[in-house]
Structure 1
Amino acid sequence: MDSRFYTLDGKKFYPSVTTIISDGCPKPAQLVSWWKQLGLYADRVAQEAANKGKIIHNAISDLIIGKELKANTFRFDEWEHICRFAEFCHSHNPRFIHTELQQINPELGIAGTLDMLCYINDELWLIDVKTGSGVYETHYVQLGAYKKMWDSDHPERPVDRIGVLHTDATTRGADKKGKSMQGKKWKVCEPEMSAENLWDYFCDIKRLWDRLNPEYEARIISLPDTLKL
């Protein structure tokens, strides 16, 4: 199955929010500069970072559903990120209602997977975990689209706030003024732009993506379930 697309019936496919943003939005200047500096090694380094991010995301999901994790099953740098997530939980006591929730909205024509939905101080938060070195505007646009999908399907319980839990932040500890959720090297970053404006921004990107991909198709590879020589 093509991970860029989601389906309800195996016939009609919907592009993921991240695919639309990745294909239809200019890359951040910092990211472009990084790719140029790495040159021929950029693809390999990017793939390694993606693999690391997936391992951390899976571990966080396991923690949320109550599993116990052991440090010796992870690389040290992976364990650092996982511990920062645990510190966020101990500090702010989120009450999780969903993790790794797949959403498909045929009316909006998009799909995606939400990292986590949780209540913090009686507010419903939609939070996406980012393990890279930066948080970019496109990350907030992604959350704006996710919130739109959730709110469309759950008008009785809309998301109150959205944020990126950045586990590679430059913060040195908790915010002494109590204005932001943060700790040593982690922070929940909120967008300056409203969720409504972020959704409008995403719609602009999607219009361009639709124009460039008028007859998109998911790549489906058929392989046998068993093999014997």
Structure 2
Amino acid sequence: MPTDVALFVPCFVDQLYPHTALSMVKVLEKVGCRVHYNPAQTCCGQPAYNAGYAAESRQVAAKFLADFAGPATQYVVSPSASCVGMVRNAYPPLFAQTRQQAACGQVGRRTFELTEFLVDVLGITHVPGARLEGKYTYHDSCSALRECGIRAAPRQLLDGVAGLERIEMAETITCCGFGGTFAVKFEAISVAMAQQKVEHALATGADYLISTDVSCLMHLEAYIKREKLPLKTRHVADVLASGL
């Protein structure tokens, strides 16, 4: 029996990197999942929550729960550890002692970031047919590492991509400087942090800088393009879908 999966496509992916969502579909179907997409879905509420607007965030989050609380799918899978971290960690206090509390627990228990779903739920560490020539270094996003405990899964999957070689950079667990509204409120600090991260990546001689979160990659890519540096950013889903 195929595993039923509901896609949650975050705002950044939907508006700026739609190809990453399509890559996720390719990967999930390649490993035997039956993929469902609810076109009524919107945001998880994280931007408002991080800006301190709890009540407004709760309204958006309530819609997320309604969109994904149905019995049609076994799992909710997203290409964003940031949004998954929001559902798991911010929703419980947001919906404590409300009528949505039960739905919050139900949805949170079956919501996963793509790589942890593949490795920890399905037991898959290799996507057949995935191929990309070159060397890569990996950026541990704050949300993936600190909110979701994701570190080994993306590396296991990427190491299984034919033609791809990993070279770890220095301070891989250090923040890239994006941090949502942090990049707007503290621009100079944010840019300096991006510079540091990119310099560590360049020092490895890698062709690709890969991560689980397009928000981090967007921030780093902007610095790379501005400085005209020889480094390409890729979301892990796009790499796993290469060659499929």
TM-score range, shorter chain: under 0.3
Tell me which protein shows more helix as a share of its residues.
2
**TM-score, normalization by structure 2:** 0.27
